[in-house]
A and B are shown apart, each in its own frame.
Chain A
């Protein structure tokens, strides 16, 4: 076909696979999967995860790749081609990707900030800064921990609630600018430049993960964490939340519904064997999740053991100082024995210790499960500062986070740019480079809102609501459209045309039957959860207490959440309505013309 004979293409299929891997393997593999593993029974979580991958993840991934490769257009054009009434699905994908672009790069900005601050002799989050009259440390830092203080005060300069706005944090704004400039550099020439970049962004994180694995398992106490993670607690399998979380993790980890996969596949050769590639990418993504969890848990184990031993040391010192015993009488091993002993022999003096005596519990330290930005920037940096040569490990770690984030960012931006550049009226007026530059500039300017003092709260709002519910809806409509409106028979014919062999029964059953049912179940669960949850809340940082407190969103913020959800979901019915009206006008216009010629 003359129209798309000159469409840009990947230099070889490997670039496509690496682009998909780079997109799918992102920060969620590092900070969400280990958390879920810990919450839902350690090694036992792998069972629902693998099952959901086979039933839900791989078939939907396959479907998106097939659509992109067949239609050779971005998501708007592709869905319009499949069914003009449901062209809104593509538009909804673009809107959701746009939201993701806006806030996702802020994480990269934070990674840059931490990376640049690692080039110091003492890591700035290792110690509390001294106060102005040099008598002690800053109080906010004393109440919280140095790593929390560095994240909330020096990185974000966070305000007390979402209502209190403040100025833009210049350091953050500069890092965000840098992040967007790098994204532009990667996509400036379209797939030609992206194809070269993904060789690096897809493979280097694995190198860093391997280095970290070796460092992690050799740390003191790492084995406690790994053992804790892999001990399966099978009773968690009876909990429905486990299965729901497994399904959502598979779903979001593969990046379905954003339109990125369709965009990537649209640059493929027509006869590319995407079936094998879909399976390969899904497997690589899952194994990376498991690999990253081993690394995370060895670091957790190290941190928990370190904190436990520090706690024991503090108790030992307290006992030595209160009872004036010689230094070598109490050692770390017999602290608990001595507590009992001293309580028995000198009860009054022991009672005077009061609340200062802490209980040290390794299990409790391991139980503190954290996910998301808190894990990546607070917990991990706390663990890193205690490692020997911490600057090197810090630099490596944040470079890895950057690569993972940049790789996913590429997919997000391409999901927005490809459909836009397919639209004739845009491509007529400007070249790819200008379009790419404008999109990056637009996202940068809007993204500056996330660098203000209350920016982190808006970030959390976008993260929790911007892409979760709408994606489920989009993918549900996608599956129903492809299987029932477009028809599974026509889909089969297209696939046979591209691949040369018929659709396997596995794909047919999953796509037409199992996946839609699972998606509907997930969708219903989300709605029920949302209704039952009451007013949506967020964690606000309280500087007097030195910790986060649960706060309700103010009414205008709740309205904004509703707007976020509605804006992407409504694209589908609105476009259908618009197409219907347009066709009706066109049809009635034709009828009028035929009538007039006859009469004339």
Chain B
């Protein structure tokens, strides 16, 4: 968060660890004070104004031009070691019903991330100001870092942020009506849904049904022909060229099993002479 100081504050440079604040006169280009919390910034200003810090140094405002932009990038920047890039694809996810991504949505995102951090660490102290966003593009992508609630200059390590996001991923997705694919945290892979393993694979069930039906069919056929044979054997009195008789005697394939074939009555000319 950037805090704009009042107009005619004193030109001071206050150095505390890695944190630098600059102020200038209103006529020249204004510099911004880099603070994490409004309270902290006010305190710093108050201290500055009342000269209670021992390490105040006077500095030329020229330095403002060069160093200030780098200043603001300090905690949150592209490829930040403890930051994550977020990419949102609203049109892919929602098509016609896509809402506009504006500052309010950005605020909502920060609130959601604060919620995720609270949930994971079970500390009630995380707030919207702890989430810093930067490098916004029209793709809708941006980087974010999370600072510690106790110390505004200290960033929460990447691994902890990842754990928090993973835990609350489902809630974060639903908050924005998006999915794992359309709300991407680059570097945090979504946990894939566990495969559903039923006790009996479904194909075995269908297989069982089909093979049962086919076996039943075969048994029915065999039993019916067996019964037919028995019935004919019992009731057979007349001899004749009944076709069914022939079948009963097993001449289905055309070979008469009952007698020997008398070759005297055939004409052999269909067989080639040797």
Indicate whether A7 sits within 8 Å of B202 (C-beta atoms), given known contacts A178-B207, A184-B218: no
Q: What residue in chain B is nearest A579 (Cβ atoms)? A: B274
* A583 and B274 in contact, given A135-B192, A327-B140 (Cβ under 8 angstroms): yes
Which residues of A lie under 8 Å from residue B172 when comparing CB positions?
Answer: none
- Name the residue of chain B whose CB is nearest to the CB of A184: B218
Contact A6 B91 (CB under 8 A): no
Of A324, A428, A433, most B-chain CB atoms within 10 Å: A324
Chain A residues with Cβ under 8 A from B250's Cβ?
A: 431
Residues in B229-255 with C-beta less than 8 Å from chain A: 243, 246, 250-255
Asked if residues A7 and B195 are in contact (CB atoms below 8 Å), the reply is no
- The answer to the question of B9 belonging to the interface, with a C-beta cut-off of 8 Å to chain A, is no
Instruction: Check A8–B138 contact: CB distance below 8 A.
Output: no
Q: Is the CB of B192 within 8 A of A130?
A: yes
Q: Which residue of the partner chain, among A5, A188, A428, contacts B222 with CB atoms under 8 Å?
A: A188
How many Å lie between the Cα of A372 and that of B66 in the bound state?
Answer: 70
Q: Counting CB contacts under 8 A, is A215 at the interface?
A: no
Stretch of B35-43, B67-75, B121-129, B264-272 lying at the A interface: B264-272
CA distance A120 to B204 in the complex (A): 12
Chain A proximity mask over B85-97: 1 for CB below 8 Å, otherwise 0 = 0010111100000
One of A113, A193, A428 near B257 (C-beta < 8 A):
A428
Binds B, one of A80-88, A336-344, A570-578: A80-88
Contacting residues, chain A, for B189 (C-beta < 8 A): 135-136
A116 touches B207 (CB 8 A): yes
Residue B214 at the chain A interface, CB threshold 8 Å: yes
Nearest-CB residue, chain B, relative to A128: B192
Q: In chain B, residues 166-221, which have Cβ atoms closer than 8 Å to a Cβ of chain A? A: 189, 191-195, 202-204, 206-207, 210-211, 214-215, 217-218, 221
CB nearest to A73 among chain B residues = B254
Complex contact B251–A130 (CB within 8 A): no
CB nearest to B142 among chain A residues: A324
- Closest-by-CB residue of B relative to A117 is B203
Q: How many residues of B contact A (CB 8 A)?
A: 48
Chain A, range 103-128, C-beta contacts under 8 Å to B: 112-113, 115-117, 119-120
Interface residues of A in 417-449 (CB under 8 A from B): 421-422, 424, 427-428, 431-433
Contact check: which of B194, B256, B272 meets A134 at CB < 8 Å?
B194
Chain B residue, CB-CB nearest to A191: B252
**Residue A321 is within 8 A (CB to CB) of chain B in the complex:** yes
B215–A181 contact, CB under 8 A?
yes
CB–CB B253/A326 < 8 A: no
| Cβ contacts under 8 Å, A177 to chain B | 211
Question: Which of chain A's residues have a CB closer than 8 A to the CB of B255?
Answer: 3, 421-422, 424, 427-428
Q: How far is the CB of A175 from chain B (nearest CB, A)?
A: 7
Q: Which residue of B lies closest to A587 (CB)?
A: B274
Cα distance, A431 to B252, chains bound together (Å): 8
Residues of B within 8 A of A320 (CB): 139
B118-144 Cβ-contact flags toward A at 8 Å (1 or 0): 000000000000000000011111000
Q: Are A321 and B253 in contact (CB under 8 A)?
A: no
**Bound CA–CA A433/B224 (angstroms):** 13
B 42-53 to A, binary, CB cutoff 8 A, 1 in contact else 0 = 000000000000
Any chain A CB within 8 A of the CB of B225?
Answer: yes
Residue of B nearest to A137 (CB): B192
B141 CB to closest chain A CB (Å) equals: 6
**Are A326 and B274 closer than 8 Å at their CB atoms?**
no
Q: Which residues of A contact B252 (CB under 8 A)?
A: 8, 189-190, 431-432
B261 is an interface residue with CB less than 8 A from chain A: yes
From residue B212, how far is it (CB to closest CB) to chain A in Å? 10
Q: Does A328 contact B (CB under 8 A)?
A: yes
* Contact-residue size bin, chain A (C-beta under 8 Å from the other chain): 35 or more
Say which residue of B140, B214, B261 sits within 8 Å of A185 (CB atoms).
Answer: B214
Q: Is the CB of A6 within 8 A of B246?
A: yes
Residues of A within 8 A of B91 (CB): 327-328
Known: A3-B266, A8-B252, A328-B91. A81 touches B271 (CB 8 A): yes
Is the Cβ of A188 less than 8 Å from the Cβ of B218?
A: yes
Contact status of A2 and B256, CB under 8 A, knowing A134-B192, A433-B222:
yes
**B203 to chain A: which residues have CB within 8 Å?**
113, 116-117, 119-120, 171
Q: How far is the CB of B253 from chain A (nearest CB, A)?
A: 4
In the complex formed, the residue of B with least CB distance to A3 is B261
- CB contact between A119 and one of B194, B206, B217 (< 8 Å): that residue: B206
Say yes or no: A84 contacts B192, CB within 8 Å.
no
Which residue of chain B lies nearest to A324 when distances are taken between CB atoms in the complex?
B137
Q: Which residues of A contact B261 (CB under 8 A)?
A: 2-3
With CB as the reference atom, state the residue of chain A lying closest to B261. Answer: A3
A residues in contact with B210, CB < 8 Å: 112, 116, 178
Q: Is the CB of A321 within 8 A of B139?
A: yes
> Given A6-B246, A182-B214, A185-B214, A84 and B87 touching (CB < 8 A)?
no
Whether A422 and B256, one on each chain, are in contact in the complex, defined by CB atoms closer than 8 angstroms, is no
- CB of A238 closer than 8 Å to a CB of B: no
Q: In the bound complex, how far is the Cα of B78 from the Cα of A324, in angstroms?
A: 13
Bound together, the chains give a CA A1 to CA B138 distance in angstroms of: 93
**Are A130 and B195 interface neighbours, CB within 8 A?**
yes
A189 to B228 alpha-carbon distance, docked (Å):
13
Option from A4, A113, A325, A421 in Cβ contact (under 8 Å) with B138: A325
CB pairs A–B below 8 angstroms (9 shown): A6-B256, A81-B270, A84-B272, A117-B202, A174-B207, A188-B221, A325-B138, A427-B253, A428-B257
Q: A2-B261, A81-B270, A189-B221 are in contact. List 17 more A-B contacts (CB 8 A).
A: A3-B256, A6-B251, A7-B253, A82-B272, A84-B271, A84-B274, A129-B195, A134-B194, A174-B207, A189-B225, A321-B139, A324-B138, A324-B141, A325-B139, A421-B255, A422-B253, A427-B253
Q: Which 4 A-B pairs have the closest CB atoms?
A: A7-B254, A324-B137, A116-B203, A326-B138
